Structure 1
Amino acid sequence: MDVIIEQPAHARLITAEDREVPVSATLRYTGDDPLAVFVDFPPEATLAGDEVTWTFARSLLDQGLRAPAGHGDVQIWPYGRTRTVLEFHSPSGLALIQFPTSALRRFLLNTYAVVAAGQEDVAAVVEQGLSALFGGV
């Protein structure tokens, strides 16, 4: 299934000085990887000046819109009634990004229109991952 959803989003990077800096991002979903969502940041939004993509579970986004969710590299939680924070950890540091909750919710609903929750073909995802891991063998 090659259905791809791409939704531009305006967000705010929260700096160490507690300032909010506008950043653009693209929320992305593909039916070929139905368990995952992607957040793409353009080069101008990153410290290294390279495009960066974060990949995490679609269910994590769903959970994080309602209550704090996640452990490790990606954590998500509601911030007031209209914003949601995504916290990304990497070896070079961490980034706190606030998104309008309505944009994230709209994106999530659009992904469920492509592949409903619980209807993901997990066997195909596992097979695809194993194939990539073992070089297509």
Structure 2
Amino acid sequence: MLKLRISLGDDVVGEVRTLFRYDPERPYEVLLTFHQGRADEADWVFSRELLRDGLRALSGQGDVKLWPAYCPCHGSTLHLALESPHGSALLEASKPRVQAWLDRTYTVVSAQAEADYGPTDAQLSALLAED
């Protein structure tokens, strides 16, 4: 569980407890659960590759964007910008802690081994074929 800083408006910053999860049966995905209170949680699922790329440079489009930054107060950080029909959020996490977590996921399922999961090209073609 990490505490991410969240922008709540002009110069107002709060904290959101965030659980980073990874399921080796779904190796392309990472799941972040934001705990905003006792019973108030929000889940975000996005690609592990997006997280990996966002630790290095601006990554993503649409609902999820990530990029690294440096803050004199907090050091090396990862910014997450999330958009939904219910609103938007700008969060900041410790880049080294997120990187360490992500590295552990690659010890479970390597980037090369991801290809062994999910549908084959033939299965995707059949799924996308017009009837």
Q: Answer yes or no: same fold by TM over 0.5.
A: yes
Alpha-carbon shift at residue 10 of structure 1 (Å): 1.3
RMSD: 2.1
Alpha-carbon shift at residue 125 of structure 1 (Å): 2.3
Structure 1 segment 66-85 matched on structure 2, within 5 A: 66-80=56-70, 82-85=76-79
Q: Tell me, in whole angstroms, the C-alpha distance in 1 between the residues paired with 2:58 and 2:115.
A: 27
Maintained 8 Å contact 1:34/1:121: no
> Which residue in the other structure is 1:117 paired with?
111
Unaligned 5+ runs, structure 2 = 125-131
Are 2:24 and 1:31 aligned?
A: yes
Structure 1 segment 45-64 matched on structure 2, within 5 A: 50-64=40-54
Taking structure 2 as the reference length, the TM-score comes to 0.82
Q: Tell me, in whole angstroms, the C-alpha distance in 2 between the residues paired with 1:32 and 1:56.
A: 15
- Judging by fraction of residues, say which structure has more strand: 2
> Which residue in the other structure is 1:92 paired with?
86
Q: Give aligned-pair identity as a percent.
A: 33
Of structures 1 and 2, the larger Rg is shown by 2
The AA in structure 1 aligned to 2:22 is: Y
User: 1:94-127: CA deviations, max 9, x gaps?
Assistant: 10110000111011100000000121145x4238
Are 2:8 and 1:15 aligned?
A: yes
Taking structure 1 as the reference length, the TM-score comes to 0.78
How many positions carry a matched residue from both structures? 118
